[in-house]
Amino acid sequence: MSNVSAIIMAAGAGTRMKSAYSKVVHKVCGTPLVQWVYDAGEEAGVSKTVVVVGHKSEQVKECLGENKLYVLQEKQLGTGHAVMCAMPELDDGGCVLVLSGDVPLITSETLKNAIEYHSENRLAATIISAKIDNPFGYGRIIRSETGDVKAIVEEKDATGAQKLITEINSGLYCFDTGLLRAALSELNTNNAQGEYYLTDTIGILLKNGYSVGAYQMTDNKEIMGINDRMQLAQAESVMRKRIAEKHMKNGVTIIDPESTYIGPKVTIERDCVILPGTMLEGNTVIGEECEIGPSSRITDSEIGCGTTVENSVIKESTVGSNVKIGPFAYIRPNCKVADNVKVGDFVELKNSNIESGTKISHLTYVGDSDVGKNVNFGCGTVTVNYDSKKKHRTTIGDNAFIGCNTNLVAPVEVGRGAYTAAGSTITENVPEDALGIARNRQVNKENWVKNKKF
């Protein structure tokens, strides 16, 4: 169907979250609730999305971005009123998805199916409904003896018999835009909560001779609304499982999906093995046949093929193929680590380029440095990059050999093939193929121990 728009209701207070933040900016798998809903709508093919904001509106705008279309609902007078606020932004002649900002598990497939159901059955309104074991709190779908939808009745307005109905309103709908506009003008607040109920438009449309229907979900998890932190954690676990299954279907082994946290935008190529306790976040890309984890965290980084990352943290960096990282390495932002490099235990890299074949095996800090190919770092090397005011760069040529416990006081350059002697504090450039030695000569005092008077 063409000309489908969307309204996302996100003006409510969400008091049960007990939070200083708007409910819809809380995150599931690293992405705000309202962003999940927005993206599901976009993927379902909507051409325009209007976000209704009110309570803590600045937070919602900041999280979705200023380039979206917002309308302000100053007073939260109910879901019907929220939709009324958005209607001036929409044209008649198509249909509109009405979505809630706190239903993050809804998929674009379900929205597409609902739109299809709506247009095939030529309906004025389609409610996305579900049968659930515990319907308490939800609006109930009232059907006639022949199974036609007659109305939605809210929990607080329901009779004892109506409360026994287990088919509930998910709070997500598809409406004919023009007919919704007309029905909204007939809404009133004669109900238990004194609000404009969007759900009353169903009865109004029927009264005016239009047909409405319900698209009943098979997977109830999708329509779960988040009202408190327990539901937030439940949604997190459902979403985490969903993401992990997508990667497993694509040929990735995840040893324990329960303890693996993968963000929605992460790409993992086939035959990777993800070990427990691993978090892959942001726009991270992992090439084929990598082994990541256990207990590693990679954020906004690109990793080549066949690389292993063990108990390590990598942020905003690029790592090549067949690299060995960890255990216990920390690669801070803006590093480029080329192929076949080793970054071993207790090594920290920051804002540095490391060319291929270089080995930084243990207990070393490399910051603000450009390191050539096949360089060997002895244990305990430190680039002294900060003079308390400015950062300075260290440059190390191909095939250089940095002795154990070398301090490289930047700005400084070690030429190609040069060596530094163990324990040196290098403050001047070391020319190509030279040995830089900067330490006191050893003096042995013969028989010193015997002669000492203790």
Note the residues at the interface with ligand UD1 (CB under 6 A): 9-12, 52, 73, 76-79, 81-82, 100-102, 138-139, 152, 154, 168-171, 197-199, 225
**What span, in angstroms and rounded, lies between the C-alpha atoms of 356 and 20?**
48
Pick from 278, 349, 335: nearest CA to 308: 278
Nearer to Ca ion, 104 or 380 (CB): 104
Place of tokens 């209607």: 87
Pick from 261, 243, 220: nearest CA to 103: 220
**What span, in angstroms and rounded, lies between the C-alpha atoms of 221 and 130?**
10
Q: Which residue is nearest to ligand UD1 (CB)?
A: 139
Nearer to ligand UD1, 196 or 419 (CB): 196
Tokens of 156: 């607080």
The Cβ-side half-sphere exposure at 109, using a 13 Å CA radius, reads: 5
Rg of the chain's alpha carbons, rounded to an integer?
Answer: 31
Nearer to ligand UD1, 168 or 338 (CB): 168
Nearer to ligand UD1, 10 or 379 (CB): 10
Q: By CB under 5 A, which span of 182-190, 224-232, 353-361, 406-414 interacts with Ca ion?
A: 224-232
Pick from 57, 92, 93: nearest CA to 76: 57
Buried b (16+ CB within 10 A) or exposed e, 54-72: bbbbebbbebbeeeeebbe
Greatest pairwise CA separation for the chain in angstroms: 114
With contacts defined by CB under 5 A, how many residues of the chain interact with Ca ion? Answer: 1
In the bound complex, what is the minimum distance in angstroms from residue 389's beta carbon to ligand UD1?
50
By the 8 A CB rule, do 365 and 386 touch?
no
In the bound complex, what is the minimum distance in angstroms from residue 91's beta carbon to ligand UD1?
22
In the bound complex, what is the minimum distance in angstroms from residue 363's beta carbon to ligand UD1?
52
Residue 152 interacts with, from Ca ion, ligand UD1, none (CB under 5-8 Å by kind): ligand UD1
Out of 26, 247, 362, 392, the active site residue is: 362
| φ, ψ for residue 127, nearest 5 deg | -95, 135
In the bound complex, what is the minimum distance in angstroms from residue 227's beta carbon to Ca ion?
6
Nearer to ligand UD1, 53 or 410 (CB): 53
The answer to the question of residue 135 lying near Ca ion (CB under 5 A) is: no
Nearer to ligand UD1, 225 or 372 (CB): 225
Q: Own/partner pairs for 264-270, CB < 8 Å, 24+ apart? A: 264/29, 264/30, 264/31, 264/239, 269/305
Asked if 26 is an active-site residue, the reply is no
In the bound complex, what is the minimum distance in angstroms from residue 98's beta carbon to Ca ion?
13
In the bound complex, what is the minimum distance in angstroms from residue 172's beta carbon to Ca ion?
11
What is the H or E stretch that residue 60 is in? helix 57-64
**What span, in angstroms and rounded, lies between the C-alpha atoms of 14 and 21?**
9
Q: By CB under 5 A, which span of 53-61, 119-127, 221-229, 373-381 interacts with Ca ion?
A: 221-229
Q: By CB under 5 A, which span of 87-95, 155-163, 222-230, 242-250 interacts with Ca ion?
A: 222-230
- By residue count, the chain amounts to 454
The answer to the question of residue 225 lying near Ca ion (CB under 5 A) is: yes
**What span, in angstroms and rounded, lies between the C-alpha atoms of 118 and 174?**
7
Residue 330 interacts with, from ligand UD1, Ca ion, none (CB under 5-8 Å by kind): none
Residue 394 interacts with, from ligand UD1, Ca ion, none (CB under 5-8 Å by kind): none
Tokens of 62: 């900041």
Residues that bind Ca ion (CB under 5 A): 225
> Which of the residues are catalytic?
362
